[in-house]
Amino acid sequence: MTLAEIKVGQDAVLRTIGGQGELRHHLLDMGLTPGTEVTLRKVAPMGDPIEVELRGYELTLRLADAAKIEVDNVHETDRAARSETRHAPVPHPGVGELRKAASYHDRKAGSEIAKGQPLRFALAGNQNCGKTTLFNQLTGSNQHVGNFPGVTVDRKDGMIRGHAEATVTDLPGIYSLSPYSSEEIVTRDFLLNTHPDGIINIVDATNIERNLYLTMQLMELEIPMVLALNMMDEVRANGGTIMVNELEELLGVPVVPISAAKNEGIDELVEHALHVARHREVPGRIDFCDATDGKDGAVHRCIHAVAHLIEDHAQHAGLPLRFSATKLVEGDQLIEAALQLDENETELLGHTIAELENETGLDREAALADMRFTFIERLCDKTVVRPGESREHKRSVAMDKVLTGKYTALPCFIGIMALVFWLTFGVIGAALSDLLTLGIDAVTNAADHALTAYGINPVVHSLVIDGIFAGVGSVLSFLPVIVTLF
């Protein structure tokens, strides 16, 4: 069977991920790796797209893409119901507190940057994680918008409020540092070529498993980084929490819980970002493999073998070693071209990857994606307390059964649109429009009498009354209808 054929409420284990190139790579980046169990939660009223649950988060797929994924072991779901237990928030360290650990000082990238010297930050994160909201909170009105050189992809730069020496660039929202979409290429080129002094990685705390995939790749760049856990207020409101202290220790980067929409934690985030950038404190961890685990062990040996093979090439090209090694394992053609491996090294690389695929039973891309998501699952098991199901979510699910039901969705849609148009053109909008028309007529008559009493030139009188007042008035009379419709 394929993923497109299973029924709502059924579990299935992914067997093979079909598709080619960009599509397949993005499916793997989304956590759809062989051996992963998924649950079909919803199907859109017209049958496309579908929503599945996997690795602790929900993912929406087009039916055509789901048809490329083969599954087996299909059965009625046995996933445990969401806990109703609520937890108190856990306090986290202050500025510099965690960075007393030896792992930070052992991995300093260079000499410290003096206070007052210019600093450049990159703001990176997934789409729809609150990145633009955070950027606006960081910069206020001190920002300008343009495009990246040679690419029609939005670029926003701004000065951090209260810190004239610090500028931040809002990078396009992406899910991984893969060289497929223009947004991914722009983001990756900016990080590799501009060499910012620090990265502010914003993560949606309500969808942390999905967001950490990009975090792991950013850490491999060995650029000072701080992790901004956004929407923590929503996690707490539902009775969940994240063990920020443990997460900080396991990742080796500062983690600051924030709410960008409510401007909570922003000042602390800025202090952490300035601290790691000035002191050149690069992530304390870039190796996410478990050398003792079966599949992970094979990936571990492969990445380290490739790293030894390309060490001099990466240094010559000015590329981070771990990042280059993992990208070569993935089959990244741009990195391979930049490293300029000779024929013997390319052949040895091929043998190393073939050994990886033989040991794991997965292709190179799937093996690496599986390693990353395995680490994320272990990390979240130790640090994330799942929130109980909120009343809002329960109410939303109950409404969805009707509003997005197979047989009830379209009648509901037609009914809602009919109500909107009736209220707009027959009740509220029409009444307000008539009221505004009366007001305009009254002003027009008053102006007409005033101009007549003044004895103004008839041509000017006609221009003002028949032209300006009549023309503008007829347009304004539609305004209540438009406002009501919106």
pLDDT of residue 86: 58
SS (H, E, C) 85-152: CCCCCCCCCCCCCHHHCHHHHHCECCCCCCCCCCEEEEEEECCCCCHHHHHHHHHCCCEEEEECCCCC
pLDDT of residue 206: 86
Give the CA distances from residue 326 to residues 221, 323, 367, in Å, rounded to whole numbers and listed in that order. Answer: 11, 5, 11
Yes or no: domain 294-385 corresponds to CATH 3.40.640.10: no
pLDDT of residue 150: 62
Category of 60 on φ-ψ map: left (φ > 0), alpha (ψ -120 to 50) or beta: beta
Going from the first residue of the chain to its last (486 residues), give the mean pLDDT of each consecutive group of 10, the final group possibly shorter.
92 90 86 92 88 89 93 87 61 49 45 85 92 91 67 80 92 87 88 93 91 94 94 82 89 92 91 93 85 79 93 92 93 90 92 92 91 92 79 83 87 94 88 88 90 88 88 85 87
pLDDT of residue 418: 95
Which residue matches tokens 């540092």?
Answer: 177
Cβ distance 205 to 216 under 8 Å? no
Dihedral (CA of 170, 175, 179, 181) sign:
negative
Report which of 349, 280, 277, 267 is spatially closest to residue 313, judged by C-alpha positions: 349
* Superfamily of structural domain 98-278: P-loop containing nucleotide triphosphate hydrolases (3.40.50.300)
pLDDT of residue 109: 52
Using DSSP's 3-state secondary structure scheme, residue 16 falls into strand
Its CATH class, for the domain covering 3-82, is mainly beta
- Residue 109 dihedral angles phi and psi, to the nearest 5°: -85, -20
pLDDT of residue 105: 41
Token readout for 313 is 């090439």
CA angle 76, 24, 180 (to 5 degrees): 145
Report strand pairing: 50-54 vs 119-125: unpaired
**pTM, two decimal places:** 0.80
Can you give the residue ranges of every domain in the chain? 3-82, 98-278, 294-385, 409-485
Element (H, E) at 51: strand 50-54
**What's the rounded Cα separation, in Å, for the pair 180 and 166?**
31
pLDDT of residue 386: 78
Cβ distance 118 to 105 under 8 Å? no
